[in-house]
Chains A and B, each alone.
Chain A
Amino acid sequence: MSIFEYNGSAVVAMVGKNCFAIACDRRLGVQLQTVATDFRRVFKVHDKLYIGLSGLATDAQTLYQKVVFRHKLYQLREERDMKPQTFASLVSTLLYEKRFGPYFCQPVIAGLGDDDEPFICTTDCLGAKELAKDFVVSGTASESLYGACESMYKPNMEPEELFETISQALQASVDRDCLSGWGGYVLVVTPTEVRERVIKGRMD
């Protein structure tokens, strides 16, 4: 079994029209046993920037704390929030520093940049950035997520339609993965509001 499959996870982010959505599953497991069904994988960095961390849960939490620490220092020095592109470079550097003993984590970064332009990106566990204009996925269900998102995604979706699409893609993919699922947590962010929703899924 791979270290990535120890806890099980699924994270996906999609770009819509002047908005983005980021979603994750809610299961926390220890190999094949489920330990929690309300585990948070998507965290807020600032109002318009979120990071989802799949992979080993302990490394995800540590990496999140380090990243929030660096962002708070940045806020104190620069007196403003970090842009998503800068944040992606920060995460990439933090991961590459540990090139020969890496964090077992695959972050998904989603935010609204200048002029509220949506930005999404994912990196592998070493920090190689992968920018995308449509969707990014990570976690044990990533292969199914690639397929589901590839077929269900349409460009320039409104927030409500984007919510439906990302939820259906997430549900469809985690249903084909034993290690993730047990519901979903979806965040849709527009320049004026943030909607967090917990969606009902198969509990098996």
Chain B
Amino acid sequence: MTGAMDLPPKGGFSYDYCRRNAMLADKGLKMPGFLKTGTTIVGLVFQDGVVLGADTRATEGPIVADKNCEKIHFMAPNIYCCGAGTAADTEAVTDMVSSQLQLHRYATGRESRVVTALTLLKSHLFSYQGHVSAALVLGGVDVTGPHLHTVYPHGSTDTLPFATMGSGSLAAMSVFESQYKEGLTREEGIKLVADAIRAGIFNDLGSGSNVDVCVITKGKTEYLRNHQLPNPRTYASSKGYSFTKGQTEVLYTKITQLKPKVEVTEGDAMEE
């Protein structure tokens, strides 16, 4: 009985291929690059809650792999998290903590608190000693008020009134440091976040495309996907390329008709 095709494992990482991959690396075959979210992610606290912002470019080395990806991840109805670093790590860690928060909500019967999400994230990241490369800006509003935290890949956290992370963090922080003040209104908060993200988009090569914004207040969350599109595609000609039918040389064609599947409707119970 072959052990290769076993049943789906119970969860967690599997290290089967580490030895094989190390052997291949010794032979001179370099590891491939991962999808990174170069990124500018920001958050700030305003008078009624928290505003989070992110750009939408995903890079693979110097190439733009996705021009409009989503970097603001759902954690709980009142908590959202922006992620920078290795895309697979930010997605997996935010999905996992989001599920854990849901189970916790069922167990306690209460709305999730931001510090719960924070502790779950930092303990997971610390236990992997920085190898799970996820840098996060976590924000939300719970019974104790609005909160904004940053989480670093090694597991350290900061609690701040305004925060930026990612390769575009310096560009965005310059905007925040000059224009942030306490007690901003909703419109001022959204405008400041959008300005900070735009600073990252235009000045940092790892960030680009559009601005996503998420506004969280007590009892209400608004996810403004593609709030601003400062980089529209203007160079494409309206006619586009058109190829005449039969331009490509075909060696052989095989056509398979797809049969509509037989629907099993409610059957009669068997006669006793």
Contact = CB atoms under 8 A, between A and B. Distances in A.
B229 interface: no
Interface in B231-245: 236, 240-245
A196 to B, nearest CB: 5
B254 A124 contact: no
A99 B13 contact: yes
Contacts of A66: 5
Contacts of B87: 124, 126, 128
Interface string A150-179: 011010000011011101100100000000
Contacts of B9: 97
A96 B92 contact: yes
A196 B254 contact: yes
Contacts of B88: 92, 95-96, 99, 123-124, 126-128
Given A99-B88, A126-B86, A161 B255 contact: no
B35 A124 contact: yes
A70 interface: yes
Contacts of B196: none
A100 B30 contact: no
B258 interface: yes
Nearest to A146: B63
Interface in B27-58: 28-32, 34-35, 58
B5 A130 contact: no
Interface residues of A, number: 57
A193 B31 contact: no
Given A124-B87, A154-B240, A194-B256, A101 B65 contact: no
A84 B221 CA distance: 29
B69 A164 contact: no
Pick from A128, A167, A196 the residue with the most CB of B within 10 Å: A128
Contacts of A130: 35, 58, 65-66, 69
A3 B29 CA distance: 5
B258 A103 contact: no
A200 B30 CA distance: 33
Contact of B258 (A48, A143, A168, A183): A48
Contacts, number: 148
Contacts of A32: none
Interface string B240-264: 1111110111111111111000000
B156 interface: no
A195 B255 contact: yes
B251 to A, nearest CB: 5
B245 A101 contact: no
A6 B251 CA distance: 28
Contacts of B24: 3
B21 interface: yes
A165 B14 CA distance: 41
Contacts of B242: 161
A195 B254 contact: yes
A151 B236 contact: yes
A102 B245 contact: no
Given A100-B15, A192-B257, A194-B256, A199 B250 contact: yes
Interface of A: 1-4, 6, 47-48, 55, 65-66, 69-70, 92, 95-104, 123-130, 132, 142-143, 146, 151-152, 154, 160-161, 163-165, 167-168, 171, 183, 191-200
**5 closest Cβ contacts across the A-B interface?**
A126-B88, A128-B87, A101-B18, A101-B17, A128-B88
26 contacts: A2-B31, A48-B258, A92-B88, A96-B88, A98-B16, A98-B17, A99-B132, A102-B17, A126-B34, A128-B35, A128-B91, A130-B35, A130-B58, A160-B245, A161-B242, A161-B243, A163-B248, A164-B243, A164-B244, A164-B245, A164-B247, A191-B258, A195-B253, A196-B254, A198-B252, A199-B249
Given A3-B31, A70-B8, 12 more contacts: A98-B13, A98-B14, A100-B131, A101-B16, A126-B34, A127-B92, A146-B63, A164-B243, A168-B243, A193-B258, A197-B250, A200-B249
